[in-house]
Structure 1
Amino acid sequence: MQFSEDWFRQASDAELESERETIRLQYVIEQDHEAFDAQYDLLHQFDAEMVRRDNERYASENPDPKPRVHREHGWYLPN
């Protein structure tokens, strides 16, 4: 199956996960190096789309996140 950018954007989260798992299983048992490289790149495309969606979801749920401040005794520690 050919995966285009449109397919990645239109697929549901469940479709992405199931198709990624199918590619991952093929990647694990693959013997041909050309197919191995193509599947490796495809896995990274799936990961990039999943991360993009997670970032969008986080940005919509937390519109103005406050950064943690570095304190005198280290990160996240009280003064």
Structure 2
Amino acid sequence: MKLLFPDVAVEDFDFSAEWLITAMNADNKQVHFEGQGRNSDLEMILDFEENSELFESVSVGELVHLDPESFLQAGNEPYKPQYEGF
């Protein structure tokens, strides 16, 4: 499991901390977040183009909790073919 933040160890990251919405771009439905607490030195931008209702429900200055999956990067596992031996 890897975080989207390459310089931060998973053990040092606070998955339960709130994130402050500092900016929103209505044209491309992106939201800029700043971490709070132990994550205070982190920033991230999430794309809400596929979820317009959620984008419309938040506003600048709001503190929100984000899903832990928002911070995780998909692991690049080596390809393992599925086959049966004869």
TM-score band, normalised by shorter chain: 0.3 to 0.5
Whose RCO is larger (CA < 8 A, sep 6+)? Answer: 2
More strand by share: 2
More helix by share: 1
Structure with max Cα Rg:
1
> TM-score, structure 2 length as denominator?
0.30
